[in-house]
Structure 1
Amino acid sequence: MALMTSQSSQARASSEAFAFVPSAAGVPADAITRVARAHPDRTALIAPCGTLSYGELLDRADRVAAWLRTKGVGAESLVGICMERSFDQLTVALGIWKAGGAYLPLDPSWPDGRLRMIVEDAACAVVVGRNEVVERLAGVDTPVVALDWNTLPAAEEASATPVDAEGLAYVIYTSGTTGKPKGVEVSHGNLAHLIAWHNHAFGVTADDRGSHLAGLGFDASIWEVWPYLCAGASVVLAPDEVRTSDTKLRAWLIVQGVTVAFVPTALAQELIRDDWASGAKLRYLLTGADRLLGRPRAGLPFALVNNYGPTECTVVAASEVVPPEAVEKGIPAIGRPIGATTIHILGAEGQPVATGEQGEIFIGGPSVARGYRHLPAMTAEKFVTIAGERCYRTGDRGSWRPDGQIAFHGRVDDQAKVRGHRVEPEETAHVLREHPAVRAAAVIAAPAADGSDMLVGYVVASDTVTAEDLRDHLANTLPEYMIPSAFVRIDALPLTANGKLDKKALPEPSDDNALASAGFATAQTAAEERLVEILTAVLGRGNVGIDDNFFLLGGHSLLGTQVVLRAGEAFGIDLTLRDLFQAPTIRQLAARIEEIFLRMIDEMSDDEAQARAAE
């Protein structure tokens, strides 16, 4: 496709009055430092363990900065952070900035193989984590150190290193077609534009409380934290148990007094159907990452805001409040350009499309990232010039609506969105082909029941390999959202006349063509039978054995929440996601339920014995 570069290819920009120059506004670390010095006692971070003031945050970040400088961290140095959601994780990130470096968020829940791959590809100066991370990453070329506050220098030994707006702020890794994830380099100026737009658009002040619950390797987690800290507001860190349940999350948001919250699309679509207490302080519920299918009901105490943007354009490129069903029908738009962002929608020949016509979305403006780490050829391919402006070619299809918003129409290529994560199916297929029993494999995205995508793997493999074998193999390298929900055994991959995979000829997954599970066992007890019914309904598939691992059948945290809620109701007990994680098969979960019953009986017996003794 030839891209037009004449002035006739004008983009549409935000209609709001917004003039922002990143270099003039300063970088986020400077803004947070100013807040901390002016209001050291103001609360910066809130978690179940307590609170952290701005003064304490700055003091700790300065200590981290001084420590990192002794390890050679300076301008353009990349430092990996592999920690749980915590005060330490955010403090280390700020300390890295104050040392002049950039940070790479690494989710400790990722498998060791993926952590190692990303750490080695990123060429970090150092990785900071807990003691267990040092053990998990033993042998990598990058130094891996455990954070120990007892050995860090005092704050007065640290002084901030000047940071340029063009300097590297952070790197986020996304799925790649070559079988390896690729790192997106985002500058301080890119991030500063997002922060300035966010705080302007949502009227963020020091009185606000933002929530932090997105996945730690997901770029929405960047958006959840830094705008609020730059405004002197508070950030509330969500405990894991509320992150996958709409009822628990709703209660947590209300109790914590959160005023602006980002919630992944799947959960947001539940929250906008729920009943809300009149005392809720939530003003804006922000969502994005997956296609929003529903609209809010009338009378909610907050506005629902749909957001769109690839990692390469600093989290958000388009945004708009979603009108309720009584005002507007149909699938919500993905919004209009934010801040100083510009968006082009171009046809097959590179020409701007008319309103209502579909084309590929290109994004320009101050949010466009520097490019891909260590991949100059891919950067040149995806970051192009249109009408004299550097733009990112998204691969998404869209069209302009008459009101200036953008309607989303899916992908131009094969990329998928699985539970909010951008996934290249070919990366999964690449790892799948490395299994010794697999002769050929393909992975495609298929519609899931919740409106997002699911992955389906097609394999030409030996008769001895099982679905569990392949899932275990993939789990050594890939996060669970990149593992197919179903595996189909075929004799050969269908090809088109020019030798490409013929996706239309691939059969639909069914019980007849599903790759066999190892050691399939049927239910032996009434409890196991009831659990089989629950898992079959939640997973939307049959042929579930009592020794099949829920998470290796395509289950994930959101579906797991449904399992524990339904099982809890069926057996009249309280179950948690932790129970399912520790007992992921029906046989194990049934045994766990029996243990809970026995414990309840023992407690009742103890109570009766105490009552008799008291008499």
Structure 2
Amino acid sequence: CVEAYCIYSTDIFESGTIAQMMGHFHTLLEAVVANPEQRVLQLPLMKSSELHQILVEWNNTKTDYPRDKCIHQLFEEQVEKTPDAVAVVFEQQSLTYSQLNTKANQLAHYLQNLGVKPETLVGICVERSVEMVVGLLSILKAGGAYVPLDPNDPSERLAYMLADARVSVLVTQESLIASLPENQAQVVCLEPDGEIINSLSQENLKTGVKSENLAYVMYTSGSTGQPKGVSIIHQGVVRLVKETDYVEFTPAQVFLQLAPFSFDASTFEIWGSLLNGSQLVVMPPVTPSVAAIGETIEKNQVTTLWLTAALFQLMVDEQLERLKSVTQLLAGGDVLSPSHVEKVVSDLPNCQLINGYGPTENTTFSCCYQVKKLTQQSSVPIGSTISNTQVYILDANLEPVPIGVAGELHIGGDGLARGYLNRPELTAEKFISNPFENKSKLYKTGDLARYLPDGNIEFIGRIDHQVKVRGYRIETGEIEATLNQHPQVKETVVLAREDNPGDKRLVAYIASKDNSLNISELRQLVQQKLPAYMMPSAFVALESLPLTPNGKIDRKALPAPEAKLEGNFILPRDPVERQLAQIWSEVLNIYPIGVQDNFFDLGGHSLIAVRLMSQIDKQFGKNLPLATIFKGQTIEQLATILRESTDSISWSPLVPIQPNGNKRPFFLVPGGGGNVVYYSFLARYLSPDQPFYALQAIGLDGKSEPYTRVEDIAANNIQEMQSVQPQGPYLLGGHSFGGQVVFEMAQQLQKQGQEIALLAIIDTTPPEPENNLSDLGWNDATWMNYIGRFLGYLFGKELNLSYEILERLTPEDQFNYLYEQLQQINFFPPGAGINQLSGLVKVFKANSMCSYFPQEIYPTQITLFRSIEDYPEKVMEKEVLESLGENSNLNLPDYGWSSFSSRPAEIYEVPGNHISIVAEPHVKVFAQKLMACIEKAQVRVDGYSPDKI
């Protein structure tokens, strides 16, 4: 007798799993003893009872459904039952079952007169509308099968599908005629042909079509570079929506038709509703925002809803309150987030949440999992087979794998497609003979899965390079084939990456022939040939693709894409741009973002755009169409659109340059101009999880008057700062004139009993009893010249300012002259009014002429950042230079700050001069030293470094 023991980690394995594994091992040993000459691969792991459970018990799903009926025949039976019930609702339109039947019959007679009969493929290219539903139903009534064509697809792709399907008749709308590719089909245009159609018979048609005839051909992504048509018969659709067990189909249900009708979820939405007497609510044709979806659900009291996994997460995050009417919520198309599942289960107790799984090749759904309680699992199972469906998890030899062991998912049953249109070899490869049931087929999904002990199935991933992104099944080979058409592309590989949880994106890696690749050309190529959902979110150019030792592309070694920011990085310049930048950073998970960075180049895609528009609606109260992102692909462009539709945007001195992160925020006061725009350079180099706020000057908006006392500026800054951080310790900094302001802020905070963890003085000399600039007697031309040259130098641009020209101009023309020069360095956002320049000049003058001298010694240490180069002579007026020359403190290591503090200053020398230390290229060194001081201060007051947790 041999005894065996298994030692295992209880953190990883459950006792039942180990017991099962030991049982399999015991069965294997018995087989070895009984058949010592047998090949190991042919030895069993499972006992006959487990095999019977997997093959028979868990696949016993047959129900008595109308398998011999067609879709349109069942609809006509429903019309007899509930002729006056509302069948379809679209915006302000609605049709009863009787009215829908009449319209569909008339169009069906027209199609039949054009030669449509069983197995005839009829293209339909229409917007989501009542006409879409009428068109689909009429094609089936005429005996034909519909080929849905998304009008938003590229013309080249539509042309391929029309030719591949040999479409003989094409139903469309007048508004789409001009955008359709050339084709050989007879075109039925619903509007101009409407008079003839409406004169035809309203009676049901006789066609001789049977349940094994084609109902539709739906095109999905193909690995060869062209889409492939999946041929679905009537029986497959009927099995999906009649006498089934995964949802309730009753006349009381209200379905939302949200999916594109070229996507197989629409099969469930449309025919699940219309073959069961339910009401179908059709969303408008434009890509809706989550707010619009939520509003439609709430307004129409939708009860049955299908959402892709990504849209499910968005709706749960932002529109959960509006889902209270939903009693059946199906989600799928990708892995569901357990935390969002838990949220629905806990907050919507009257809603049955269902995780739906199934390929187009098996008519929409194959497995479903009804979530009954909060899941404690790391993933949500895809459940068990639905009615009249069989599932087998097999190894490479088509042998069943034991419970808990991963294998390829194979699907059979009445939902199985006939195959791929005009692709016999691919059909034979993917639709194989069923080894467990004679005269039937199995579809090889390419999905890895395993049985759980309770009979539910857990999805693990893909065997091949097919992926699911935002609910769409995509062959990455089709994208690769398209990219390879570019003459400069040597080789390419496309992956679906999920570098941020819940945000799966397509990434294209390209090796070019001569390193002269233009990414915008590649984006344009994909846009011309593939639908929008197949556009990679990021393009990564590499010298060569990494290889494994055996010479294959090493996909695991491909780097995560980095957000590509424009070289001309420009920080937000007004409240609209700042609020937008904050929203973009949140939805794209990137910081910092410049106002001229492109949304799509940063990895944006359609679902992120939906979230973006939702946040804009919340922030600005403007419900912009999703298509706005194509007109405003940068913050600068989008801000212009918003300004045109926004009367007033709130203006605040507190600017959240980077508000995210778990560290103490750092507050920074700008120099004499009071504008925080030049902190764009510093923002790029501070830690991305370091909250960073700037305090711009009152009066910059050109409407309010600037303060004239440092004490007042400091008091106002404290009030604004404490709206974010009510209590200390505080991390404070100030550059140039801002150094004196922040010193006064520290003094006032000390009197409040607050602690200052860091007081960073950035190249500022201590206050003096008399301000040497207050009595200069400068005229407006001198001020304009000084301000212009200062700002130009700060941004590394030399303005074509002329003092002689300024002196000859009127005050109004001086403003216009300087405004035009500053626009050339993108200092102001497009369309900014002259009042912004007026505010800047007023603030500059007021700050330059402030007199300030503290009354008390600062009780703790000052941290001084000192530039190592002299003031730039070409920027400063001679009076300023003379004033600086008279300041003996500039020769002291600490500029003389020891006279104002009880402790010696901590001094850091930084390359650059007074202005250039906060500009490229020196700002990187300054940011590193500043960040080190911030982290040291946090450790001192909090006892740990937040980024080390």
The answer to whether the superposition gives a TM-score over 0.5 is yes
Distance change >3 Å, CA 552–CA 169, structure 1 → 2: farther
- SS at 1:476 equivalent: helix
- SS at 1:355 equivalent: coil
Question: Does the 8 Å CA contact 1:273/1:296 hold for their aligned counterparts?
Answer: no
Q: CA deviation at 1:16?
A: 7.5
- Letter matched to residue 444 of structure 2: R
CA distance in 1, matches of 2:258, 2:404: 36
Equivalent in the alignment of 1:608: none
Bigger shift: residues 330-339 or 144-153: 144-153
Bigger shift: residues 205-214 or 412-421: 205-214
Residue 635 (structure 2) aligned to one of 583, 586, 589: 586
Distance change >3 Å, CA 562–CA 39, structure 1 → 2: closer
1:62-461 equivalences under 5 Å are 62-148=105-191, 149-152=194-197, 153-156=199-202, 159-198=205-244, 200-239=245-284, 243-245=288-290, 247-272=291-316, 280-294=324-338, 295-297=341-343, 298-300=346-348, 301-325=350-374, 328-385=376-433, 386-387=435-436, 388=438, 389-451=440-502, 453-461=504-512
Distance change >3 Å, CA 374–CA 545, structure 1 → 2: farther
- Letter matched to residue 52 of structure 1: L
CA distance in 2, matches of 1:270, 1:597: 26
The superposition leaves residues 329-386 of structure 1 with CA deviations (integer Å, 9 ceiling, x where unpaired) of: 3311001000011110012332211111111000011111100000000000000112
Q: CA deviation at 1:561?
A: 2.6
CA distance in 2, matches of 1:84, 1:255: 22
CA distance in 2, matches of 1:141, 1:474: 26
CA distance in 1, matches of 2:503, 2:42: 30
Q: Structure 2 unaligned segments of length 5 or more: list them.
A: 1-40, 651-949
- SS at 1:263 equivalent: strand
Bigger shift: residues 233-242 or 125-134: 233-242
Q: CA deviation at 1:261?
A: 1.3
Is 1:481 paired with 2:533? yes
CA distance in 2, matches of 1:420, 1:91: 26
Distance change >3 Å, CA 22–CA 574, structure 1 → 2: closer
- Letter matched to residue 467 of structure 2: A
Q: Using the aligned pairs only, state the percent identity.
A: 35
Equivalent in the alignment of 1:605: none
Q: Structure 1 unaligned segments of length 5 or more: list them.
A: 602-615
CA distance in 1, matches of 2:293, 2:167: 35
Bigger shift: residues 231-240 or 247-256: 247-256
- Letter matched to residue 209 of structure 1: V
* TM-score, structure 2 as length reference: 0.59
Bigger shift: residues 97-106 or 571-580: 571-580
CA distance in 1, matches of 2:607, 2:386: 30
CA distance in 1, matches of 2:321, 2:490: 57
Question: Does the 8 Å CA contact 1:19/1:340 hold for their aligned counterparts?
Answer: yes
Residue 64 (structure 2) aligned to one of 20, 29, 36: 20
1:479-518 equivalences under 5 Å are 479-511=531-563
Bigger shift: residues 9-18 or 471-480: 9-18
Distance change >3 Å, CA 62–CA 481, structure 1 → 2: same
Is 1:466 paired with 2:511? no
- SS at 1:321 equivalent: strand
- SS at 1:442 equivalent: strand
Equivalent in the alignment of 2:21: none
CA distance in 1, matches of 2:583, 2:93: 38
CA distance in 2, matches of 1:210, 1:571: 32
CA distance in 2, matches of 1:468, 1:543: 22
Bigger shift: residues 553-562 or 409-418: 553-562
Distance change >3 Å, CA 91–CA 127, structure 1 → 2: same
CA distance in 2, matches of 1:594, 1:277: 30
Distance change >3 Å, CA 206–CA 530, structure 1 → 2: closer
CA distance in 2, matches of 1:452, 1:348: 32
Bigger shift: residues 131-140 or 376-385: 131-140
The superposition leaves residues 116-151 of structure 1 with CA deviations (integer Å, 9 ceiling, x where unpaired) of: 222222211222112243222242233443223122
Q: CA deviation at 1:594?
A: 1.5
- SS at 1:217 equivalent: coil
Q: CA deviation at 1:13?
A: 6.0
Question: Does the 8 Å CA contact 1:213/1:243 hold for their aligned counterparts?
Answer: no
CA distance in 2, matches of 1:510, 1:44: 49
Equivalent in the alignment of 2:584: 535
Q: CA deviation at 1:110?
A: 1.5
Question: Does the 8 Å CA contact 1:3/1:351 hold for their aligned counterparts?
Answer: no
Q: CA deviation at 1:529?
A: 4.8
Distance change >3 Å, CA 138–CA 312, structure 1 → 2: closer
Distance change >3 Å, CA 448–CA 567, structure 1 → 2: same
- SS at 2:217 equivalent: strand
CA distance in 2, matches of 1:157, 1:569: 51
Q: CA deviation at 1:399?
A: 0.5
Question: Does the 8 Å CA contact 1:209/1:228 hold for their aligned counterparts?
Answer: yes
Equivalent in the alignment of 1:44: 87
Q: CA deviation at 1:111?
A: 1.9
The superposition leaves residues 444-487 of structure 1 with CA deviations (integer Å, 9 ceiling, x where unpaired) of: 22125353532111112244433222111110011122111111
Question: Does the 8 Å CA contact 2:294/2:323 hold for their aligned counterparts?
Answer: no
Question: Does the 8 Å CA contact 2:410/2:444 hold for their aligned counterparts?
Answer: yes
- Letter matched to residue 268 of structure 1: F
Question: Does the 8 Å CA contact 2:491/2:510 hold for their aligned counterparts?
Answer: yes
Distance change >3 Å, CA 454–CA 188, structure 1 → 2: same
- SS at 2:242 equivalent: helix
Distance change >3 Å, CA 103–CA 547, structure 1 → 2: farther
Question: Does the 8 Å CA contact 1:242/1:248 hold for their aligned counterparts?
Answer: no
CA distance in 1, matches of 2:309, 2:229: 24
Distance change >3 Å, CA 552–CA 173, structure 1 → 2: farther
CA distance in 2, matches of 1:250, 1:496: 48
Question: Does the 8 Å CA contact 2:403/2:453 hold for their aligned counterparts?
Answer: yes
Q: CA deviation at 1:55?
A: 1.1
Query: What root-mean-square deviation, in Å, do the aligned CA atoms of Structure 1 and Structure 2 show?
Result: 2.9
Larger Rg: 2
- Letter matched to residue 103 of structure 1: Y
Residue 562 (structure 1) aligned to one of 611, 630, 645: 611
1:49-64 equivalences under 5 Å are 49-64=92-107
CA distance in 2, matches of 1:403, 1:585: 51
Q: CA deviation at 1:237?
A: 1.0
CA distance in 2, matches of 1:520, 1:29: 60
The superposition leaves residues 184-231 of structure 1 with CA deviations (integer Å, 9 ceiling, x where unpaired) of: 000001111111145x54332222211111122210011101022111
Equivalent in the alignment of 1:29: 72
* TM-score, structure 1 as length reference: 0.89
Distance change >3 Å, CA 252–CA 568, structure 1 → 2: closer
Distance change >3 Å, CA 278–CA 417, structure 1 → 2: closer
CA distance in 2, matches of 1:242, 1:480: 12
- SS at 1:495 equivalent: coil
Distance change >3 Å, CA 3–CA 588, structure 1 → 2: farther
Question: Does the 8 Å CA contact 1:171/1:186 hold for their aligned counterparts?
Answer: yes
CA distance in 1, matches of 2:249, 2:383: 20
1:596-611 equivalences under 5 Å are 596-598=645-647
